[in-house]
Structure 1
Amino acid sequence: MSGSRSSNLKYQVYRSTALTMAKEFILDNPSDLLAEGIEPARIRFEPITQEALNQSYLWISEAQLYPWEDVPSWKKRDTRHFDLALWYDHELCGLCYATPRASTLTIKIVLLEGKPDGTHPLKGQVAGLALINVTRYGRMLGLSEIEIQDPDPGAIDWYKELGFELDDEQRLVISIVEA
């Protein structure tokens, strides 16, 4: 097996393991979700597939700011990427794309979006659930922090509620240990 294929397989296993570990975590710690009327067993963490992209295209968004259609090509070029489609039963509720690129310290959440429909079952939980997944993946890579790349100014307070802080360089970050 060539070096790049071996490396790609390694990161594919890491991504799959992170999804499994995140699912186990929410099943082992269901109280916060249950308090919101969410059944953790109905949540699915999966890679972003064409099916997920097709469902995301049906989301009604005023600006369509998120280039989800670019994710398949990004995934091909970036073997260390992490992608997440967040489902509740058969409803797509959120998408996340993160990458450490060449960093040995930081994984950046490049895109994170919840379904704009305010009635979806994971409303208010998408960022937290994505963070659980990205944290597990970042730990496997030996990284120390998660950064929100170019956060929407209106979302900064929401990220701060999740534990993110602005550092000296005005990057919105959280320690992987704290996440």
Structure 2
Amino acid sequence: MQFHDGADFSKIRFEPIDAIALIAFELWENPHFCWREIAVWKSREPLSLDIAIWFEEQLCGLCFANPNKSRQRIRIVRLEGQPGALHPLKKRISVLAMMAIDEFAQIIGSKWIEVQEPLQEAMPVYTKLGFKFDLEGRLVLAVESKVS
């Protein structure tokens, strides 16, 4: 399968955020987040979801999400595409991450995906993905339910 611009889906990999991903992250110019803390977070949150999104050997995005205690909501704690330089998955990281988060949310029985402390500059992206503020002021999206 290919993107409209010819990028090949088969070259996309979803991997855990590991030492290799963190080394690749260090090469990013002006990232918004520090991702080195992920190892500690992963050890504290056994049900967390950490994703390094690769295109061939290029790290294009990172995501960390974890469910609340009841598992009713899974929170996107951090989500970031490689800033600056163009990469093959530019402007696609949020959609790719949401595919994985939604699938994970279904597996653990979550009803909602919530963005924890959304950045103002990311609001147009979340809005385009269908997120809305609930009555409690949380930026949320219902988990898609699949019919068996």
What TM-score bracket applies, with the shorter chain setting the length? over 0.9
1:177 aligned counterpart, secondary structure:
coil
1:146 aligned counterpart, secondary structure:
strand
Alpha-carbon spacing, 1:162–1:36, altered in 2? closer, same or farther (3 Å)? farther
- Cα distance in 1 for partners of 2:116, 2:98 equals 14
2:65 aligned counterpart, secondary structure:
strand
Q: 1:37, CA displacement in angstroms?
A: 2.5
Q: Which runs of 5+ in 2 are unaligned?
A: none
2:36 aligned counterpart, secondary structure:
helix
Equivalences for residues 81-120 of structure 1 within 5 A = 81-120=48-87
Alpha-carbon spacing, 1:105–1:36, altered in 2? closer, same or farther (3 Å)? farther
Q: Which has the higher helix share?
A: 1
Which sits farther off after the overlay, 128-137 or 161-170?
161-170
Q: Which amino acid aligns with 2:15?
A: E
1:54 aligned counterpart, secondary structure:
helix
Partner of 2:33: 66
1:58 aligned counterpart, secondary structure:
coil
Which sits farther off after the overlay, 99-108 or 82-91?
99-108
Q: Which runs of 5+ in 1 are unaligned?
A: 1-29
**Does structure 1 conserve the Cα–Cα contact (< 8 Å) formed by 2:132 and 2:140?**
yes
1:80-124 Cα distance to aligned partner (Å, 9 max, x none): 000000000000000000000313210000010100024111000
Partner of 1:42: 11
- Cα distance in 2 for partners of 1:91, 1:65 equals 18
Partner of 1:4: none
1:68 aligned counterpart, secondary structure:
coil
1:121-170 Cα distance to aligned partner (Å, 9 max, x none): 10000000000001111100001010111111111111110111111122
Percent of residue pairs bearing the same amino acid type: 37
- Pairwise CA RMSD of aligned residues? 1.6
Q: Which has the higher strand share?
A: 2
TM-score (norm 2): 0.93
Residue 52 (structure 1) aligned to one of 13, 21, 24: 21
1:25-44 Cα distance to aligned partner (Å, 9 max, x none): xxxxx4xx521322100000
